[in-house]
Amino acid sequence: MNKILISIIIPCYNIESCVTETLFSLYINQNNNVEICIINDGSTDNTLGIINNTLLNFPIDNLKIINTKNLGLSQARNTGFKHVTGEYVWFLDGDDPIRKNAIKDLISEIQTYPGADIIAFQGYDFNDAEKVFGFEEENYKDDNPVFTPSYNRFLIDDKFKGLKKSKEYMIEAISNDCFLPSACFYIQKRDVLTKGGLRFIPDILFEDLPYTINLFLENNKILISSLRLILRRKRVGSITNSTLTQKKINSLCVVSSNLIRTYYAKGKINEIFGYSESIFKRTIRLARKNDLKLIINIIKYPHLILLVYKSSIIQNEIKKTIKNVFSI
C-alpha cells in the first residue's frame, strides 16, 4: 500500500446541488498518495445519495465516507481528522472544487520543500449562478474565463521566499491587511496538529479564525506558494455574505475570548492582543447597528473584560455604541 502523503477532509451538509462538481474534480485529480475522507454531517437532502451515485460513475481510490448526525462544520472536520493518516491534512469545503492538476502541483511543492509544516496557496472565485463544470475536464482548468483570481498572497516576494516562520508571516500579513484565515487555503502537517492539540471550536461561526491564528502562532515553518488550487464558489446566503445574526456576534465574541484565554495562560498575551482587539472592535461595530442587548451579551465572555480594560480603542468603541443607542 502506498504511503498517504495528503489527507483531504471534506464536510458535507445539504449541498446536493453542487457536491458532484467537487467529487468530479477530485476524480480527475486522484493520486495513490492521497486519501479523501467525506463527512456527511447529517444532511437532510439528497447529498449522500448524490455522493454515492457520483462515485459509482467516477470511482475514487482511497476514499471513505463517514455519516454523522448534524454537529456543524467544526465537529465534522474534527471527526474527519480522527480517521485520516496522511502526512499532510487539507480541510476542503464540500461545495468548492479544485482545479485540474491541483494535487499534482501540490505534491511537487511538498517534494521541493519537505521541511514545510504549512503550505499556503491561492484560488479562483466563480459565481454560483455560472453553470460551468459538468463532466468535462477542460472546465476545471485554470484558464476557464469564468474564474477570477482571488485570495492573493500579496507578500510573495524576496522576504517570504522559501520556508519562513509562520508567526512572522502572519504579523506581516495582518499589518498589510492581507491575512487569509480560511483553513481551506492551507495544508498542514498532521503531526503539527497532533502535538499542538489544535482543533476547530464547535458551535460557532468563523471557526477558521482561531484555528488558523493558533496554527500560525506556534511558529511553524511555512511556504507561501503562488499556486492557485481551489475554485471558490461565491454563494448567496454564505456565512460571510449573509446578514448580521446573534450567532455571528456570539461567535466573534468566542473567537476573541478564546484567543485571549489561550495566550494569557501561556504568558504570551501581547502576541495576540492586537488581532483580538481588531476582531472585537469589528464585533462591537456590528452590534452597534442593532441593539444594546448584543453588547450586554458580550459580558458573558469573561476574558473579554481584560481586552476592554487594556484597550483604549475598545473603550472608545463601547462609548460610541452607548451614545448611539441612547442618542446622547
Give me the residue spans of the domains in the chain. 6-234, 246-326
pLDDT in tens, 157-190: 656 678 889 988 887 887 777 788 899 999 999 9
Buried-state track 98-135, b at ≥16 Cβ within 10 A, e below 16: bbbbbbebbbebbeeeeebbbbbbbbbebeeeeebbee
- pLDDT of residue 156 exceeding 90: no
Give pLDDT, residue 241: 47
Please state, for a pLDDT cut of 90, what percent of the chain lies above it: 47
Q: Output the pLDDT for position 85.
A: 96
Q: What is the mean pLDDT of residues 35-60?
A: 97
pLDDT at 243 over 60: no
pLDDT, residue 10, reads 98
Nearest to 88 by CA among 119, 49, 55: 119
pLDDT number for residue 77: 97
pLDDT of residue 167: 86
Model confidence at 136, pLDDT cuts 50, 70, 90, reads confident
Dump strand ranges (E) for the chain.
Answer: 6-12, 34-41, 63-68, 88-91, 118-127, 148-150, 163-165, 186-189, 221-234
Given pLDDT bands bounded at 50, 70 and 90, which one contains residue 298? low
Alpha-carbon gap, residue 299 to 323, rounded angstroms: 18
In percent, the amount of the chain with pLDDT more than 70 equals 84
Strand 6-12 with 88-91, pairing: parallel
The domain at 6-234 falls in which architecture?
Answer: Alpha-Beta Complex (3.90)
- Rank 106-115, 157-166, 169-178, 197-206 by mean pLDDT and report only the highest: 106-115
Q: Give pLDDT, residue 92.
A: 97
Q: For 186-214, what is the mean pLDDT?
A: 90
On whether the CB atoms of residues 271 and 263 are closer than 8 A, the answer is yes
Copy the grid coordinates of residue 42. Answer: 447529517
**SS3 per residue for 179-219:** CCCCHHHEEEEHHHHHHHCCCCCCCCCCCHHHHHHHHHHCC
Coil/strand/helix, residue 6: strand
Q: Is the dihedral of CA 88, 65, 121, 168 positive or negative?
A: negative
Categorize the per-residue pLDDT at 279 as very low, low, confident or very high, splitting at 50, 70 and 90.
Answer: confident
pLDDT at 74 over 90: yes
| β 221-234/186-189 pair status | unpaired
Phi/psi region, residue 60 (left: phi>0; alpha: psi -120 to 50; beta: rest), is beta
Query: Are the C-beta atoms of 4 and 36 separated by less than 8 Å?
Result: no
